[in-house]
Structure 1
Amino acid sequence: MTSPDTSLAPGTGLPVGSVAPDFTLPDENKRPVTLSEIDGPVLLVFFPFAWSGVCTTEFCELRDDLSVFTDAGVQVFGVSTDTAQSLKPWVADQGYTFPFLSDFWPHGAVAQQYNVFFDKAGMALRGTFLLDADRVIRFAEVNMPGERRDQSQWKQAVAALLG
């Protein structure tokens, strides 16, 4: 893993046009997922915690509109500092059909690489990154804890990516 870019203001996320850092994280079933091994565009959706109200609402909306992304060939991943053991029952309970990655240990290392780690609370901010097939960031936003994201912007970014 590379160290985070210290020239960026904390919590602002990586800028559009930068290359997304590679990583390997376990999914909710403890299977390793490596970003560089995924073909096609990727939507990384960092979030603070499973089982919280805003996170659940956001991911239920994403679940219900998932075809907008999958029909465009975009693979979606939720990423949090929760353990895989806590993500697994939440994923099952909510009926999510896309992977959730655990950035638990080293704690928040990937969130730090993407400059969306909130160190005072030990959690990821609501960072969203759309990566093209070459792993260049084409859309990026960071929302603070409790601040719900507007997923229509994600859909517009996917449409723009497809041209």
Structure 2
Amino acid sequence: MLETSYGKSTLNSLKNTENFTDSAIEHIFEGQVNARGKAVGYHYEGIEGTSGNVIPGTESSVNNIGVYKAQVEVNGIPKTANGGFSTFYSKNLSPQQVVDAINEAYSNCELKLGTRNTYQGVANNGMKIDMFLDQSGKIISAFPEE
């Protein structure tokens, strides 16, 4: 499958998002500036016109399932957590395929040892996905492990 760009309206038609908090889709697909003014999220490049951008020249090579990492900025604010890097879902996946993979990983996720709120599950294609859950068990963020 070729890399494709999707309009932001695609995000409004995503199915099977019951396991996600209201802001998780924006966090994953567009990036956000949090209440402390920090750039957070942004784990998928295929949506046009989002506030998140990859900083040119920082993109790593892709792994065997298309996952890569890059330094990002949201609304012009460079991300500082994780050295400024986000991991990204494959450019060959549609937004719905990303949601489906997250749901697959959510269905078998377990708390990662040594963390307070990082869970990891595995999608059907073998991709390991880390996620943060809120107190009711809904996904706040989900990103592929490099």
| TM-score w.r.t. length of structure 1 | 0.27
> 1 or 2 for the larger relative contact order (CA 8 Å, sep ≥6)?
1
| TM-score w.r.t. length of structure 2 | 0.29
More helix by share: 1
More strand by share: 2
